[in-house]
Chains A and B, each alone.
Chain A
Amino acid sequence: MFGTALIVFREVLEAALIVGIVGAATRGIAGRGRFIAGGLALGVIGSLVVAGGAEAISKLAEGMGQELFNASILGIAVVMLAWHNIWMSVHGRELAADAKKIGGDIRAGAKALSVLLVVIAVAVLREGSETVLFLYGIAISGDTSAQTMMVGGAIGLVGGVAVGWLLFAGLLRIPIRWFFSATSVLVLLLAAGMASQAARFLIQANVLPSLASPIWDTSGIVDNSSLTGKVLQGLIGYDATPAGMQIAFFVVVMASILAGMAWARRRMSAPVAHATPATTTT
């Protein structure tokens, strides 16, 4: 039972951290609860579908279907998170100034939320499908009774969700002045970390060269299989022994998002500067 709980906890943890960050990052946008719940529901349904089709997926692309599937899922999440951060670089200040203002702008809010719904859905789907396969394995092996498995799984699930909730609640305690800067840094790191993990799957699929691996080895300090390692992996894509290609993906994605945010801000501030004298003349 403890073994089951631990594995389920580890799988749930990563998704829970992502949901915690996304939940906090959408603070003040009307209807976010429904979108988060929708993302979770889609993710759970998706997990069952993916777990059911695991064998078919594995056989795709000359046996590399699973790697390419994981890399694509991560790629989608990276694009969505990037879009969110660029959007927030413009709207975050409005949200911080007046939480209700954007809440009223339902169309803009819904767009931001549907992007994050996809992020939550794919995060849950990726970790969830592995959990489903694991539990299925236990169920048919008959080593443990179904009841023990359910209890273990439930403990793991609750534990993982609790950590995600702690992160969410902790983030909400950040004063509103710095709040959106803090969540945007987290989303930035999350996206870059996911890009690095996507690179890892592409190397594993033999699609990309590793460009020297590992570049460094910090497994003596924080190992990826430890709890701290898992949390850091979920938050910033921490890898104790990264390949050169992973670092390249991390840096390029981070630089691109930062450039996109700067570009969006410049584009927004230009017309505002022109509008000010016009209003004073009337």
Chain B
Amino acid sequence: MFRFAAATFLALSLGAFAANEPEFNLAIEGHKFTPDRVEVPAGKKVKFIVENKDATPEEFESGQLKIEKVIPGKSKATIWVGPLKAGEYKFVGEYNEKTAKGTIVAK
């Protein structure tokens, strides 16, 4: 019984991590995010592939999303987001906060 429960739990948790999360692409170019507004499904973990096309590093930061990640120049980074409640979540590029701004909308 215990073994069964453990196996189920393991399968479920592995499933949770390995399941095909919806994927979204973001680019940083000229210290700006494109697109700067992304709609994602609420209540689901989603994956963002952020490509920094600038030569300079950028820090993807969002207090609301609880994310802080440095993306070196000319490279891609994976960022896991959520599961989010429906609503709007702002993020910035901390190193160029004036121009690098974006919003994730969970629906």
Contact = CB atoms under 8 A, between A and B. Distances in A.
Contacts of A241: 63-64, 66
A137 B66 contact: no
B80 interface: yes
B78 A64 contact: yes
B27 interface: no
B104 to A, nearest CB: 14
Which residue among A130, A239, A243 has the maximum number of chain B CB atoms within 10 Å of its CB? A130
A204 B67 contact: yes
A3 B66 contact: no
A12 to B, nearest CB: 14
A204 B58 contact: no
Query: Which label, helix, strand, loop or mixed, suits the secondary structure of the B interface?
Result: mixed
A181 interface: no
B66 A54 contact: no
B10 interface: no
A209 B16 contact: yes
Contacts of B80: 204-206
Interface of A: 3, 7, 54-55, 58, 62-64, 66-67, 130, 133-134, 136-138, 140-141, 200, 203-206, 209-210, 213, 219, 223-225, 239-241, 243
B89 to A, nearest CB: 10
Interface residues of B, number: 31
A54 B72 contact: yes
A240 B63 contact: yes
B55 interface: yes
Contacts, number: 75
Nearest to A64: B78
B75 interface: yes
Given A7-B95, A130-B59, A134-B59, A58 B66 contact: no
A223 to B, nearest CB: 7
Contacts of A204: 66-69, 79-80
A129 to B, nearest CB: 8
Contacts of B64: 219, 241
* Central interface residue in B17, B56, B58, B59, by most chain A CB within 10 Å: B56
Given A54-B72, A136-B57, A137-B58, A63 B77 contact: yes
B29 interface: no
Contacts of B69: 66-67, 204
